[in-house]
A and B are shown apart, each in its own frame.
Chain A
Amino acid sequence: MGSVLLTVSLSGPDAQALGHLLHKHPDRVQTFELPVGTATVFYPESTAERVTAALLLEVDPIGMVKRRLKSRDGATLTDYVTDRPYAASSMLAVALGRVFNTALNGRSDSFPELAASPLPLRIRIPAVPVRPAGRDQLAGAALVRGLFEPLGWTVAAHTTPFGPDGSWGEAPYVDLTLTGSVRLADALSQVYVLLPVLDNAKHYWVGTDEVTKLVRRGEGWLADHPLRELIVRRYLVSRPDYVEDATLRLTALDDVPVDEPDDAADEEAPAPLKVQRLETVLDVVHQVGARRVVDLGCGEGHYLRALLADPTITEVVGVDVSARALARAERRLNLDRLSDHQRARITLRQSSVTYRDDQLAGFDAILLIEVVEHLEPDRIASLEAGVFGAARPGHVIVTTPNRDYNPVYGLADGDLRHPDHRFEWTRAEFAAWADGVASGYGYRVEFRPVGEVDPDAGPPTQLALFSREGP
């Protein structure tokens, strides 16, 4: 069990109205059993000048794991020891929404005018998670300020030293105090929406009604927020279809012209290179007249889809070492909905380039697209023996990043393009490797550029086409 805390203070002449506005009596302790845990509302402070209400949510991590296990196929050790019982997250937002529902809607029978007016409020949440997430540059206290200051709050966000003797810098949480003159319903709505936004990745109750909630709770402040796009995206965590939907409805709501969200950012390589690579590879496949093609390291099936769409290709085999990737490829290619004839053209198969797989023998071409750089250097000989020695297709098409080009991307010397890359070859290194393989296994090799060629650095991706000579 843990305890997640939020306090709301109202000061000034109307301080004593807080209990009415929140619909919770200052001298009583009220508890609510919620799906996320037990919420308790009590008042640590109640004077003529200031009244403070506290919402304490006790989260049961063991029950949480049991719930998560139902939706996933297994748990890892880190599922059992988490910050959920302590950090203010979507769970606190859920509790807030349930316990202070009336206040959140701005309704007050006894003090309607106070409910409708800005009041001198102070809200404190002692552990707000502020981890950097994805491509957002803003993190930490700066993100908190960026989210709350435009709404009229004075933000105090303190963090604590972290790690052994504080040697790891600042903890990824802030002790947040918001002070300002804000309508209570707005204040609660803003906390309700922005807590999951700050927590980003850990918000796991996204459903279609989340869009409705976001629209309702964001009314009057979200449409003009400078970080609106970030808020919407992170609130609805990585569900692009919801993002679009919600964005459109929000802009419509506030009579603002529809502008597409700035969401072109594919986190991998810039999209054009991916497309260019695919086109170049398909050109080469056509040029050599390959009809039976293996994509070794097919991942989720980007190339398989293109090969299937090409009627000159009679047989496509997608091979990957990851069973999960193959399952995703199967879904993405809708294999279960293909006609018998189409279905017969494609096979998915788990295998590994570091083991010799006799099922891969006898094809016209094997594609190794952005695969070699994911292998440890001492395993490449196994790949060579398996592909060039045992499978011996008519052609092998290999693409890999050109390290010479990395400075054009602004990468520092020695930096690689992807954390899983074990190395990246310069053009000279790639050519030396390819020539060695070709002469060792009886192939001839030629090279192609992929992507826009830089006069000094060459193309971003390099391609080698190996063609078998003799048996």
Chain B
Amino acid sequence: MTELHIPGLALVALVGVSGSGKSTFAARAFAPYEVLSSDYCRALVSGDENDQAATNDAFDVLYYIAGKRLDRGLLTVVDATNTSKEARAGLVKLARDHDVLPVAIVLDVPTEVAIERNRSRADRAFGDGPIRRQASQLRTSLRGLGREGFRTVHVLSDPAEVEDASIVRDRLLNDYRDQHGPFDIIGDVHGCLDELLQLLGRLGYAVQFDNSGHAVDAEHPDGRRVVFVGDLVDRGPATVGVLRLAMGMTAAGHALAVPGNHEAKLIRALDGRDVQVSHGLESTLAELADEPEEFRVAVREWCRGLVSHLVLDDGRLVVAHAGLKEAYHGRASGRVRSFALYGDTTGETDEYGLPVRYPWAEEYRGRATVVYGHTPTPTLEWVNNTLCLDTGCVFGGRLSALRYPERETVAVDALAVHYQPAKPFPVASAQRGEDELRLDDVVGKRVIETSAMGRVTITAENAAGALEVMSRFALHPRLVPYLPPTMSPVATSGRDGYLEHPDEAFSQFAEWGIEQVVCEEKHMGSRAVVYLTPDGGSVYTRTGRAFFAPELTATLLSRIQDAVCAAGLLDELGTDRLLLDAELLPWSAKAGPLLREHYAPVGAAALMALPAAVEALTAAEARGVEVGALLARTTARLENARAYDAAWQRYVWPTEGLDGVQLAVFQVLAAAGASFSDRDHDWHLGIADRLVAADPGLFRTTRRQHVATADAASRAAGVQWWQELTGAGGEGMVVKPLANLARTARGHLCQPGLKVRGREYLRIIYGPDYTESANLTRLRDRNLGRKRSLALREYALGLEAIDRLVAGEPLWRLHEAVFGVLALESEPVDPRL
């Protein structure tokens, strides 16, 4: 049994004449979709596997598919003769373009066997000539495959061997996905041994010394491991000491390391190659000169053995000396190594003669956290989920480490300026591009991964609809870290005179397995999000528009800030910022024009027209004309119109500046580093109550009632409570699972709330006469499915936005989820729901 070792991610070229058994071998040795056959592609484009005229088109298809698979990190096998050098060169190029390793497996069976096999196949009537030609091509190229660029070449030289061979897939050298840490990633050490020992101590490692007093290992009691980002050597006072420790730690399994550009240069120097001895290499070579030869050999071997980047923790963490763009994660090619060692240089040099580096991190959109060093920066700053740990220790800065997965940084100050930098350090922080949002971050069909309900798809049409609103009317995305989800009404009630009733809400939650719910008063205002930050913040609507002009917003925010401080919330939650979910009253503060130009005129017209109609009909009836039924209908309409006119007026009260404006907070969405979707609503409302106590003029309380969904008496009390609330002119209530974020009995994400709107309020929505039984019958035929589904998806996206905000993720990640909510809102659903 021959085992053929190939890298787990590779482009495998099968090489062999027609009839050498490639397809049979491929079908046995690889999974079905891994193999792309040129014959099959020929058939795809022409309908005939053997149509040689279709060969060019067939290979276009094959290359296209192979490219897509390699982009996605999938091993791909090309089943074609590949006997010509040109054909193989194309495959080597394809592999390099996708930064995977090219592999050749040659099926070098005797030509006569192949000819015999072809003769027995009716569909291959091309005779022996082509096969002999292929065989001769193959023979001349067999020895040069390595030079052509194939990193692994296997030759199977007789049919029995082909039949016997099996494929063994080797892990790529950079593939440490099964290593989950926890890790302590340490920035560029550059021979600063004392600082390194201090830092290891700070991180909790116990350093071990050998008999001569050299530090040779360090171990963490919790099994944590160090990852060095490279550039251990050069410039600093104790390169040998640092190497000895790092080599000891990696040998003991207490550390991993990637090479830096300084290690790469050191290898070449130790190999005796002609390198410029500068940038600190001189001190390393001087130190090494005092060490025994075997130490120098060990250093060289150790440096050689380092892999240019490591993919760790199921792909969630990537460490490379100069960083790595996403397309290169887990790939192997010359340019991947070069990027990892030297970064993405623009080819220019700056005024100090140093290469100008392309700011790849600003464009980084990958999911993996990338940790790197290489470029000294004065402060540690996350840029799009990447972190540079080189804080210039050797230049008198600091030596920094990142604790992963905690994402905490630990640093020690340099004990001295060990080396004068080529350009002044610290340099001013470069202009950050993290705020920059790209069109590709939001448009087109998008699939957003949410922790609450998995993938949520945004269609291109919906995204297009949201783009205009987001660009033209919403506040700056920085000020809109969250948008609230839409809320579904309760299932339609069959009860006489009602379209919505609390019983359906209680039953629905009971069916979902939610035993305790809280009924919260639905305020008669507009949904508002308050984002309170140390430098101001924002107060915005459900589409991200500001409620007020900047000056008034600032006044409102400072008043909220005062109340939040007075209530002691910032200290209690250990935060300097808060994201609050609220209702801003009155409705007329936002919807003044709509009320004035639309809702009020309807009432006015009705109350002008209907009394005149009733009067005319009454006069006719008095004359003995048979208009009784029409008079009764019209009189009822007049009553309905009066009720309608009273209903909308409850949403209007005068405001002047902030006078008259009220905020009913009902949920604390987030604070620095924390979200509260797992705190029950009593906790949230308790905080809201403290705000009311702190500033009763601005804050308004949310009345509430607990209901046990399985307890008839409790439900009856809930219904009674709603009747009283709406009977007194209230808009209605929202019924929420008391526990807040909840799952249904079947494990699905539960609706965060169902609204039960009051009978009178619904006149504004469904028209003054909706309560007439003929109208109710028609209106009961309303479809809630779409609204429910939207509400849930928007809820999941909102939670995701909060998670991303709290985790300190880059703006584009936050904005992606927020934009998703707005995009879903643009989907057409019955607006009355």
Contacts and interface: CB of A to CB of B under 8 A. Distances in A.
B594 A172 contact: no
Contact of B467 (A78, A88, A321, A358): A321
B476 A376 contact: yes
Contact of A45 (B623, B630, B652): B623
B475 interface: yes
B767 A379 contact: no
A45 B441 CA distance: 71
B96 interface: no
Interface string B600-634: 11101111111111011111100111110010011
A356 B464 contact: no
B586 to A, nearest CB: 11
Nearest to B630: A40
Interface stretch (B24-32, B185-193, B432-440): B432-440
A164 B769 CA distance: 21
Contacts of A172: 601, 604
B832 A56 contact: no
A160 B612 CA distance: 14
B471 A62 contact: no
Q: Which of B442, B594, B601, B609 is the most central at the interface, judged by chain A CB atoms within 10 Å of its CB? A: B609
B766 interface: yes
Contacts of A40: 627, 630
Given A27-B625, A42-B625, A81 B767 contact: yes
Contacts of B601: 83, 162, 171-173
B468 A322 contact: yes
A239 to B, nearest CB: 24
B464 A1 contact: no
A357 to B, nearest CB: 4
Interface in A110-155: 124, 126-127, 129
B748 interface: no
B306 interface: no
B767 A80 contact: yes
Interface string A1-17: 11111010000000000
Contact of B627 (A42, A85, A171): A42
Nearest to A38: B630
B468 A323 contact: yes
B758 to A, nearest CB: 16
A382 B812 CA distance: 13
Contacts of A43: 620, 623, 625
A171 B597 CA distance: 10
Contacts of A359: 439
A32 interface: no
B468 A82 contact: no
Contacts of B600: 162-163, 168, 171
Contacts of B775: 1, 62
A1 B599 CA distance: 17
A205 to B, nearest CB: 20
Contacts of A75: 830-831
Contact of B637 (A2, A27, A76, A357): A2
Given A56-B630, A126-B608, A379 B476 contact: yes
B596 interface: yes
A1 B627 CA distance: 17
Given A45-B619, A350-B464, A129 B766 contact: no
B765 interface: yes
B534 interface: no
B439 A76 contact: no
Contact of A171 (B465, B608, B652): B608
A4 B601 CA distance: 15
Contact of A352 (B471, B649, B830): B471
B154 to A, nearest CB: 42
A374 B472 CA distance: 7
A86 interface: yes
Contact of A44 (B440, B443, B623, B654): B623
B179 to A, nearest CB: 36
B598 interface: yes
Contact of B439 (A80, A356, A420): A356
B437 A56 contact: no
Nearest to B779: A62
Contacts of B772: 1
Contact of B608 (A56, A81, A160): A160
Nearest to A357: B439
A355 B627 contact: no
Contact of B778 (A29, A62, A83, A87): A62
B646 to A, nearest CB: 10
B604 A160 contact: yes
A382 B434 CA distance: 12
Given A127-B608, A323-B465, A355-B441, A44 B765 contact: no
Contacts of B613: 3, 5, 56, 126
A81 B599 contact: yes
A229 interface: no
B702 to A, nearest CB: 24
Contact of B626 (A29, A323, A358): A29
A61 interface: yes
A376 B545 CA distance: 11
Contacts of B764: 81
B439 A352 contact: yes
Interface string A72-98: 011111101111011110000000000
B828 interface: yes
Given A2-B609, A44-B616, A385 B436 contact: yes
Interface string B363-376: 00000000000000
B464 A83 contact: no
A354 interface: yes
Contacts of A45: 619, 623
A77 B831 contact: yes
A87 B765 contact: no
A44 B617 contact: yes
A54 interface: yes
A5 B609 contact: yes
A160 B652 contact: no
Given A43-B623, A56-B630, A83 B612 contact: no
B609 A354 contact: no
B766 A80 contact: yes
Contacts of A81: 598-599, 602, 764-768
Contacts of A162: 600-601, 604
B634 A78 contact: no
Contacts of A321: 467-468, 471-472
Contact of B609 (A44, A86, A358, A385): A86
Instruction: Among A44, A162, A353, find the residue whose CB has the most chain B CB atoms closer than 10 A.
Output: A44
A86 B471 contact: no
B439 A1 contact: no
Nearest to B546: A376
Given A74-B828, A168-B600, A357 B767 contact: no
Contact of B620 (A42, A160, A173, A354): A42
9 contacts: A1-B637, A1-B775, A5-B609, A27-B623, A75-B831, A171-B600, A173-B601, A358-B440, A376-B475
7 tightest A-B CB contacts, nearest first: A126-B612, A44-B619, A171-B604, A86-B605, A352-B471, A127-B608, A127-B609
Interface of B: 436-443, 464-465, 467-468, 470-472, 475-476, 594, 596, 598-602, 604-613, 615-620, 623-627, 630, 633-634, 637, 641, 649, 652-654, 764-769, 772, 775, 778-779, 828, 830-832
Given A44-B617, A353-B471, 19 more contacts: A2-B609, A27-B623, A27-B625, A44-B616, A45-B619, A46-B623, A74-B828, A77-B765, A80-B831, A81-B766, A81-B768, A86-B641, A126-B608, A126-B609, A172-B604, A323-B465, A355-B439, A357-B438, A358-B439
Interface of A: 1-5, 7, 27-29, 40, 42-46, 52, 54, 56, 58, 61-62, 73-78, 80-83, 85-88, 124, 126-127, 129, 160, 162-164, 167-168, 171-173, 175, 321-323, 350-359, 374, 376, 378-379, 382, 385, 420
